[in-house]
Amino acid sequence: MARTRYVVAVALVLAVAGCSGDSSPLPAPTGPPTATATSPATKAPDTACNPRASLRPSGALPKPGRMPAGSWMAEIQKRGRLILGTSQDTLLFSSRNPFTGKVEGFDVDMGRQVAAAIFGNPDKIQIKVIGYDERVSAARDGSVDLVADTMTANCERWADVHFSTVYYEAGQKVLVSTDSPAKSIEDLGGKKVCAAAGSTSYDNIATVRSQPAPVAVAKPAFGDCLVAFQQNEVDAISTDDTILAGMAAQDPYAKVIGPKFTEEPYGMAMSQDHPEFTRFVNAVLERSRADGTWKATYEKWLGEFGPAPAPPAAEYR
């Protein structure tokens, strides 16, 4: 099929993305702060939780550079940078710019808003590239301050980490070749459908009710799924519609089909050890919704898909 000619181009993009971390210079670190013990009060609720509901902000945001003593924000300020965990191959949300070497996108800008609130400077941020299957563990063990990586907030993950309020509403669809007759994922029974290991997208493929069922294939990242698709190793890719739109933009022989068959509310993940930080991030998101920053960020990265919708409303526990 003609789409195989695009393998080399995509492989080159992935090769550029192979180096770890962001290429921008970082302030000299003063050493990671010591994590505090987790108290039972900061643990997530049971499986009856509403995964969209987060911790309510505890008042107005402090002025940048004046974080409350003893808070995790003060520790981040002392360190001199916010550490953001994200991917480097999710076009439009968090992908490495092959010209500048920097990881950029909608998710990265969400993290930059938090850095700006702490420091008064959105560039006080370190990008740490993590795998999809490392998103929960990286937030939980404190190896990053914040994960913004097209990550669906659900009750299972709430048992291990805190999530911010929802900052983006996505839904799972399917990408197939332009000559495929499939209209939805139910039409792909017996076909190989790729998703990133550790993602809810991979889990959702197994829930499709068709006879035979689609065959879920796991790859380390969605960039690897795209290469496998272009090499005809898999028949389709299934994940959030926004991620698929970025893939389709890279391959004129691919198309996105079907209605959304899941709801994927994106939240930023953080350690449960620091509930004050979760409340702080939610206050940043409240301001972003109110002052037009969220809308401007949407238009910057996703405006080609149409006018910015209203940002997701905050829900609190």
Rounded-to-integer distance, Cα 135 and Cα 272, Å: 14
Rounded-to-integer distance, Cα 107 and Cα 196, Å: 18
Residue 7 has a pLDDT of: 41
Q: Phi and psi (nearest 5°) for 124?
A: -80, 65
Crossing angle, helix 222-230 and helix 241-250, to 10 degrees? 50
What are 279-307's pLDDT values in tens digits? 999 999 999 999 999 999 999 999 888 89
Q: Region 122-133: what's the mean pLDDT?
A: 95
pLDDT over 50 (residue 27): no
Neighbours of 31 (CB within 10 A): 7
* Mean pLDDT, the chain, integer: 86
pLDDT over 70 (residue 22): no
- What confidence category does residue 154 fall into, taking pLDDT thresholds of 50, 70 and 90? very high
> Is there a shared CATH topology between the 10-22+54-168+266-316 domain and the 172-257 domain?
yes
Residue 30 has a pLDDT of: 36
State in words which class domain 10-22+54-168+266-316 has: alpha beta
Q: Region 14-35: what's the mean pLDDT?
A: 36
pLDDT over 80 (residue 23): no
Q: Where are the domains of the chain?
A: 10-22+54-168+266-316, 172-257
pLDDT above 90 covers a percentage of the chain that reads 74
Domain 172-257, CATH: 3.40.190.10
